[in-house]
């Protein structure tokens, strides 16, 4: 019993270390759908977000904070760039909150540096990333 508990603890610590190493929080939404389980506010348009996750299952949702995304016309490139990635199943832009929502396949390792690079190629700056598992 104790051996199993220690093994489980080891796995949890390893998973946390992995997550921190990638600067990504693998977290779930609580039932209110407006906060992460650690209490941080999600800062997305909730109606838009709920529409976005409709029909998605076994996915990772990357919520990327972007600076300089002030118009629809200039955000188009972000959507096009991420849609070229075969691991991306859906992309949306929340202009009001300066967020890009990207649905990745569950087994994809999300690399924030890669996301930053793609956003920068569009002329904007990615500043933060949260990853939600659904």
Asked if 114 interacts with another protein (CB under 8 A), we say no
**Minimum CB distance to another protein, residue 114 (Å):** 14
Q: Is the dihedral of CA 40, 21, 28, 37 positive or negative?
A: negative
Pairwise CA distance, residues 129 & 63, whole Å: 6
Residue range at the interface with another protein (CB under 8 A); choices 34-42, 53-61, 107-115, 123-131: 123-131
Asked if 52 interacts with another protein (CB under 8 A), we say no
In the region spanning residues 67 to 96, those forming contacts with another protein, defined by CB under 8 A, are 67-68, 70-78, 80-81, 92-96
Listed residue (7, 22, 97, 32) closest to 60, CA to CA: 22
**Minimum CB distance to another protein, residue 121 (Å):** 4
Query: Measured between alpha carbons, how far apart are the two ends of the chain, in Å?
Result: 31
Binding site for another protein (CB under 8 A): 45, 48, 65, 67-68, 70-78, 80-81, 92-96, 98, 120-125
């Amino acid at each position: 019993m104790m051996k199993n508990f220690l093994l489980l603890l080891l796995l949890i610590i390893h998973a946390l270390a992995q997550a921190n190493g990638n600067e990504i929080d693998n977290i779930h939404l609580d039932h209110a759908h407006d906060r992460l389980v650690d209490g941080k506010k999600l800062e997305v348009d909730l109606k838009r977000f709920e529409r976005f996750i409709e029909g998605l299952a076994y996915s990772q949702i990357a919520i990327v904070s972007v600076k300089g995304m002030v118009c629809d016309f200039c955000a188009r490139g972000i959507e096009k760039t991420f849609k070229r990635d075969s691991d991306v199943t859906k992309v949306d832009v929340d202009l009001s909150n300066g967020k890009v929502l990207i649905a990745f396949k569950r087994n994809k390792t999300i690399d924030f540096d890669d996301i930053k690079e793609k956003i920068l190629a569009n002329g904007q700056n990615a500043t933060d990333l949260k990853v939600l598992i659904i």
